[in-house]
Amino acid sequence: MKSILFTTALLLATLGMASAQAPKKTPASPNAETSVTLGGKALTIKYASPSMRGRKIFGDLVPFGQIWRAGANSATAFHTDGDIMIGDVMVPKGDYTLYVLPTKDSWMLAINKQTGQWGTEYSQAQDLGRAKMTLSSAPAPIESYKMTLSGSAKSGKLQLEWEKTIATVAIMVH
């Protein structure tokens, strides 16, 4: 009986070690973060970064004329340590969710007051406001979706890049 228990315990320990040592699969849309400090105020965005993987993105996977979570998985989280302007929208210090309304010729960044939800849970009634984004074409296809906060002093920008599209909006700290 002791031999069977010992063998079972050894087998379970071996299986446990094997599963613990198995390589972890890279998620299809890994978590990503971007941040910048403008005027002494920290701004941070946390999002999931999907890849093209041979798919057509804008106008197909991300339909034109429909709100998009600006990433994958959970809603894209935005935090600002101070009052700022994103485009022409006054954004008080706090936590928000970012969405994008893309059309073929223009994009709007929606700054939403609801936080902590899954990315497809969107309520337009919770929008603080929407800021027009400037569009340009990428010189080469961009495989993985990327958000970047950049700038210096009291001004900066938020840039979204994926597939063949680059969308930007100005940020100013008060």
**Bridge partners, residue 108, by sequence:** 101, 132
Instruction: Report whether 30 contacts 36 (CB < 8 A).
Output: no
pTM of the model: 0.84
Which pLDDT tens digit goes with each residue over 148-159?
Answer: 999 999 999 999
Which pLDDT tens digit goes with each residue over 80-89?
Answer: 999 999 999 9
Domain boundaries, the chain: 28-173
Residue 166's pLDDT is 98
Please measure the distance between the N-terminal and C-terminal CA atoms of the chain and give it in whole angstroms: 75
Residue 8's pLDDT is 44
CB atoms within 10 A of CB 49: 19
Closest CA to 127 of 107, 108, 113: 113
Which pLDDT tens digit goes with each residue over 10-48?
Answer: 444 444 544 456 567 778 899 999 999 999 999 999 999
Residue 25's pLDDT is 78
Helices (H), ranges, 84-165:
none
Which pLDDT tens digit goes with each residue over 43-82?
Answer: 999 999 999 999 999 999 999 999 999 999 999 999 999 9
pLDDT tier at 93, thresholds 50, 70, 90: very high
Give me the long-range contacts of 7-13 (CB less than 8 A, separation at least 24).
none
Residue 11's pLDDT is 43
* Residue 103 tokens, joined: 């059309």
In the Cβ-directed half-sphere of 43, how many Cα atoms lie within 13 Å?
28
**For the CA atoms of the chain, what is the radius of gyration?**
21
How far is the C-alpha of 89 from the C-alpha of 87, rounded, in Å?
A: 6
